[in-house]
């Protein structure tokens, strides 16, 4: 099964409903696949989803330590 190497996101079954003259008509199930792309992670070429690619591209946030008040 094709799935993301980092978050293990895979395909899902999804039903569609079509509106016909005021009544919903259930139609057959369809399989929806994640948007997988090849990318290098740690020097290895793997299939990962675009959400993980965006997360890996983020710069880590460096926060300054808060000043503590001394009790008098």
Return the structure tokens found at 23. Answer: 């009544």
pLDDT of residue 3: 93
Is residue 39, in this structure, part of any structural domain at all? yes
Q: How far is CA 68 from CA 25, 61, 63, 65, 71, in A?
A: 63, 21, 15, 9, 9
Q: How far apart are CA 5 and CA 10, in angstroms?
A: 10
Is residue 31, in this structure, part of any structural domain at all? yes
Domain that holds residue 27: 1-50
Is residue 65, in this structure, part of any structural domain at all? no
Query: 3-state class of 71 per DSSP?
Result: coil
Number of folded domains in the chain? 1
This prediction's pTM: 0.63
pLDDT of residue 13: 92
Is residue 11, in this structure, part of any structural domain at all? yes
Is residue 15, in this structure, part of any structural domain at all? yes
pLDDT tens digits for range 1-49: 689 999 999 999 988 777 777 777 777 888 999 999 999 988 999 999 9
Is residue 72, in this structure, part of any structural domain at all? no
Is residue 37, in this structure, part of any structural domain at all? yes
Is residue 67, in this structure, part of any structural domain at all? no
pLDDT of residue 72: 58
């Amino acid at each position: 099964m094709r799935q993301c190497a980092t978050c293990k996101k895979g395909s899902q079954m999804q039903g569609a409903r079509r509106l016909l003259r005021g009544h919903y008509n259930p139609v057959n199930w369809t399989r929806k696949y994640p948007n997988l792309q090849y990318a290098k992670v740690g020097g290895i070429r793997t299939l990962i989803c675009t959400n993980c690619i965006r997360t890996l591209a983020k710069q880590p946030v460096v926060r300054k330590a808060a000043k503590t008040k001394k009790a008098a």
